[in-house]
Every structure is written in C-alpha cells, then in structure tokens.
Amino acid sequence: MTAPFNDGPIQVADGHREHLRRGFNWLGGATIAAKVIDFSTILIVLLFLTKAQVGTAAIVISIAMVIEAFDGLGTAEALIQARSVSRSQLDTLFWFVTGAATLVGALTLIAAPWIAALYGEPGMAAYFVAAAVKQPLVGAALIPLAIMNRDLQYERIAMVNVAATLAAALTRIALAVAGAGTWALVAGFAASGLYTLIGTAIARPFWPAFRFRMAEIMPLVRFGLRAAAANIFEQTFKNSAFLLIGWFYGAAPLAYYRVASDVAMEPAIAVGTLINRTALPVFARVAAFKDQLAQSLAWSVGRLTALVAPLAAGLFLAAGPLMALLHDEQGNSYAAAALPLKILAAAAFLRVTLQALTPLMMASGRPGSAAALSASALVLVTAGIAAVGVTFGPATGIVAVSAVWLGVYPLLLVWGGFYLKRKWGISAWDLAPGLVAPLIAVAAMLAGVTLLGRLIGDMPPAIGLGVAVSATGLAYAGLFLRSRRPEPVIPPPGPPPEPSR
C-alpha cells in the first residue's frame, strides 16, 4: 500500500526557485524568530547562573548534541531524497528510529558516570538524564518532520519550530528564576524535544501501524548510515571546542567561550538547519539537471549570505558593548568574551557558504562526500584546539581557539570550491553575483560605524550597542528593498539527459 502523500517519484519542479524562496521566507523567518527568542532568553538566564554552572551545562549539552546526531541514523535525509516511499516503509522507519533513539538514550545514562569522571565533576552525571530523555522524543518526531519536509510544507515546519523554541525558552527562564542553576539550561534543552514532538503531532499527525519489515527499509538505512556519519562528524565538529576547552581549562573559562560562541555561531548553525530543510528536497528534484542545480545553489548562497552577513557584521560591532553589559549571578562581567565574539562572528560568515554543500551532496546521492567534508573539518579543528590547549593558558586560550575556527573555514571553502568545479562544473564566479549586495551592505555598515566612532569618540556600552543594532537594521532594510526588485525568469528544465551507454 502506498502512502497517501507524495507517494510517486519526485518530479523536477519547474518552479524550483519559487519553492526555495517560499522555504527561505518561512523557515528563514522562523529561524530569525527562534534565534531572537533564544538569544534574549539566554541573556536573561545568565543573570541567574554562575559561570561554573554555565560551563557545566555547556559540556553536558555539547555531548548531548553529538549523541542526538545518532537519532534516526540518517534515515530522515534518506526519506527526503527517496524517489518514492510506501506506507509500510514509513511505519517500519518510525519503529526503527524510535527504538534506536531509546537505545541511544539508555547508553547515555550508562556512560554518564564515566563522562563525569573524565571531567572531574561527579555531580555532572545527573544532568545526562535530561539528555537521555530527549533522545526518544526527538526520534518520535523525526518521521513526521521528514514527511513535512519531503512535501515542502515549510509553513508547518516553521510554526512547529517557533512554538517549540518559545515553549523551551519559557521553561528555561522559569527554572532559572526558581534557582534551578545548571538544570535550567539542560532541562530547557531536553524540553525542546518534547515541545517539538507535540508540535509535529498537531501539524502533521502520524500514527504508525504496528508492523516492522526491516527488508523494506534497508535501502534507506544504507543511505542513512552514510548520512548519519556526516551528521555525527558535523555535530562533533560543532561541539569539539566546548568539550576540549572544558577538558583543558575547566567550566568557568568555558562559560566565556560558550557565551561568545552561542551569540556568534548559533545563527550560522540555525542557517545550516534552514539550508538542509529548504534546499535538500528542492535540490533532490533538480539533481539530474546541472544547470538548474547550479542556478538553485547560486540563488541559495546569495540569499543565505544576505541573511547572515549583516548579522555577523552587527555582532562584530556589538561585541564590546554587549559583553560589557552582560554579567553573571555574582555580578562578574563577560567582557573577556568580547574578542572571541568578534573573531567567531567573522568565522560564522564563512561557515554559511560552506554549509550549502551538504544538501547538495545529500540530494545528489553522495552522503559519503558530506561525511568526508565533516570529518576533514573535525580533524582540522580538533588538532588546532588541542595544540592551543597545551600551549596557552585560559585567558589567551579562548581567543586562540576562536582564531582556529577563523583559520579552518577558508581551507574548507577552498576544498569546496574544487569539489564544485570538479563534480558539477560550478565555479566561484557562478556564485559570486549573489554575494555582491550583502558584501556592499556589510562594508557600508563597518565604514559608517567606524567613521561615527572617530567623530564622537568612545561611546557608553548602551549607546554603542544601539548604534550597532541600528546599523544592522539599516543593512537588512536595504537588502530587503533590493530583494523586492523582480528577478529574471529561469526557463524550466528540459528533459533529463540520456543515460550513458
């Protein structure tokens, strides 16, 4: 029996750019809303926690995010790019995913005491209960989310994301105000899984039948295992700095780096999620047409740069004032996080362009290439941070770790450029037109604020922050007005190329 939704082969969409635009508008708007909610509530929560509590939570959440990459074993990506899917496969996948997630959660609880001993914090083990509980919740939500993604139901995904983020943020604040300490952050992290499951149950109800036919999902599992390797490497890559800084320097110094990284990198990470959810199903529909794929990729990179570049520049300008205003429960300032924030903001801008490669590789049936890219990034970052850890003390070390990120991304972008040229015939010049306007906006921001600073001298932190926010808003307004101009129409693709004999 076939599924009653999108059960036929995925056809090439004449309006693929319109699908991308709709996805970016809905999921991009949801991403911005979610990040504003997260950012503002985290700043509130920090007022009620010590730096040691923030650092401990950072270690637990970082490990939990790596563990979460095992959920589904990549079958969500396999489901999205599959040419057709039966109802029996969906039922089997649901039980396979939730069973694997439950097993991962159980293994997390078993490993928790050893992890706590590794970091020399016996009390840390209890916090992994939240990480373990989240795994089956995320697993149960995975299939309905993938179905919505496959069917390009971006509006529903956006509403689920914003609602779950808001509910988790309110949970986090309530626990922090109640004096829960580290639990405020780790329980809020786990609660997001529960709220996402509730949201998917409302937006796209999926009630699996009690049947399990492993043979039917083996093609999806084989693809998924390679995709899972990419996800696991990517999550380890994202969180390796937290784990190593916690290992070398302890929880309190980690708090400075965690705050800087969350403010600078979380928007880029969110954009990575946006890319996968929006571009993957669309790229999968045009993967057989190189010209159409190149146009879709160029359009996506331009829009992503427009979304992130002004924010990265704004964070660079706001780093000093923002961190000077921020303090912990004991009244200690986070000013030492200002320089790492500036460096990481620049690295975040480079990260966005690189992230567009992953859905391209997945959509074209090359999850192994995505895994190789993530593994290369992991090796470079881990080696760099380990070298920093044995060379520098805490104060210089968090700055040097930030510089490692800024040094690694250009190398990966060069590799990505060679990959696009070799595999797809796409050159850097093909992607350049979409980058011009965002880069001009960023240059105008930096020049304008620098000139203003020279004219009026040092500004109080609150005024400096206001200037940076205003400059960012003006840049986005200019890019928005430019985006309202009509774009040239891209003709629909011709018939697929004949297979080689």
Phi first, then psi: give them for residue 139, nearest 5 degrees: -60, -40
Q: What is the pTM of this model?
A: 0.68
Contact 108, 131 (CB under 8 A): yes
pLDDT by residue (tens digit) across 149-170? 777 777 787 788 778 888 888 8
Which pLDDT score is estimated for 8? 38
Separation of alpha carbons 206 and 472, rounded Å: 41
Over the chain (501 residues), what is each successive 10-residue block's mean pLDDT?
37 51 62 69 83 87 83 70 77 87 91 88 87 88 82 77 85 90 90 90 86 80 71 74 85 85 77 65 71 78 82 90 83 86 90 78 74 81 90 89 90 87 82 85 91 85 90 89 62 45 39
pLDDT by residue (tens digit) across 90-105? 888 889 888 888 998 9
Instruction: Identify the burial level of 3 via C-beta atoms within 10 angstroms of its C-beta, where 0-12 means exposed, 13-18 middle and 19 or more buried.
Output: middle
Separation of alpha carbons 64 and 243, rounded Å: 11
Separation of alpha carbons 175 and 188, rounded Å: 8
Which pLDDT score is estimated for 90? 85
- CB count, 10 Å around CB of 47? 13
Which pLDDT score is estimated for 127? 92
Q: Give 316-334 as a DSSP string.
A: HHHHHHHHHH-B-TTS-B-
Separation of alpha carbons 245 and 401, rounded Å: 9
**Hunting for tokens 């001009």 — which residue is that?**
440
Separation of alpha carbons 247 and 377, rounded Å: 20
Instruction: Compute the radius of gyration of the chain from its Cα atoms.
Output: 22
**Hunting for tokens 């891209």 — which residue is that?**
490
**Hunting for tokens 């943020």 — which residue is that?**
169
What 3-state DSSP class applies to 12?
A: coil
Separation of alpha carbons 271 and 355, rounded Å: 8
The closest alpha carbon to 256, from 72, 121, 401, belongs to: 401
| C-beta contacts of 175-183 below 8 A and 24+ residues apart | 176/44, 176/45, 176/48, 176/49, 177/48, 179/48, 181/49, 181/50, 181/53, 182/49, 182/53, 182/56, 182/57, 182/60, 182/127, 183/127, 183/130
The closest alpha carbon to 175, from 332, 55, 49, 263, belongs to: 49
